Amino acid sequence: MSELTPRKDLLDIESLEREEIEYVLENAAPFKQLFQRSVKKVPTLRGKTVLNLFYEPSTRTSSSFEVAANRMSADVTNFTVSSSSVVKGESLLDTIETLQAMRSDYIVIRHQAAGVPGIVAKHTGASVINAGDGYHAHPTQALLDAMTIREVYPEYPGRRVVIVGDILHSRVARSTSTLLNKLGIEVAVLGPGSLVPAGRHDFMTRLRSWDEVFDWKPDAVYLLRVQMERQEGQFFPSIAEYHKMYGMNSQRLVGMRKLGAYLMHPGPVNRGVEITDEAMRYERSLISTQVENGIAVRMAVLHWLKPETDKD
């Protein structure tokens, strides 16, 4: 593979070149093969340090990064900041100073405020990986989603993915849809009008019902988690009504099977809300593949980024 311009940080999907995306996805595959072996480690990042800095509770993403870093032989420090101990925004520069002193090579950061990883990246030589900032971006989620789709559809351009749920408050919807669009995959959205903003990406076709979804013939249906904790104000009448209107249930599984469509979800799922128990057992569910690919993609990202830690 030809050499790419070195990149220090992974902050969003928008700024990525197609070649960079392909590069990461290509590299993730051999990392994933490694998981079949008894020794799952490579020495690539021996002596390097990865700081997992989570301002928002997250077990899955944080663990996924930790496993990825461990398998690259890096030393990992987990640093979870409970939001109560953070003076909103104001202490950010002080935090960055503290981080500088830790001399990490990679900083994986999740923060409730959009744009914070970019601010950190500007002030540190470490490679900053955005693990989710507010509603803004979750680039490694997008990369693992793309990897998962590529595995089942090697000839992915022209394929169709419909994203179902809270488009307004979802960084996953933003990043994954942007990445799919860059790869030539068509994207549609389904969700309550109050959660499908008019300012969404132009390429997001709006579908208004499951009937329209099945008429559109998606190759994959991507359910979003209903973010009950992230909603300020009421956007739909009740969880029961959401489930009835937008949830994946046995009746909609019939439509899925007819199309042979795959089912995806970023996790963790709310059973009985966006998906029923039965639908969790759908034979074309890619949900656990997504988790596995998450580790491989994050290893590929750690491998790809070039910290400037000697600089400071």
Interacting residue ranges for other proteins, rule: CB under 8 A: 14, 88-90, 92-93, 111, 113-116, 118-119, 133-137, 168, 171, 174, 197-202, 232-233
150 or 171, CB closer to other proteins? 171
Cα 174 to chain centroid distance, Å, stands at 9
262-264: strand order across its sheet = 204-207, 186-190, 160-164, 220-223, 262-264
Q: How far is the CB of 194 from other proteins (least distance, A)?
A: 13
Q: How far is the CB of 232 from other proteins (least distance, A)?
A: 7
201 or 284, CB closer to other proteins? 201
Q: Residue 304 has which token pair?
A: 């790809």
CA distance 62 to 78: 8
Reference 206, options 193, 218, 219; nearest CA is 193
Q: How far is the CB of 93 from other proteins (least distance, A)?
A: 6
Q: Which residues of 219-231 are buried (b: 16+ CB within 10 A; e: fewer)?
A: bbbbbbbbbeeee
155 or 202, CB closer to other proteins? 202
87 or 101, CB closer to other proteins? 87
Q: How far is the CB of 86 from other proteins (least distance, A)?
A: 11
Residue 235's φ and ψ, nearest 5 degrees, are -110, -20
135 or 210, CB closer to other proteins? 135
Q: How far is the CB of 304 from other proteins (least distance, A)?
A: 22
48 or 136, CB closer to other proteins? 136
Reference 266, options 234, 220, 302, 235; nearest CA is 220
Q: How far is the CB of 124 from other proteins (least distance, A)?
A: 14
Q: How far is the CB of 170 from other proteins (least distance, A)?
A: 9
53 or 168, CB closer to other proteins? 168
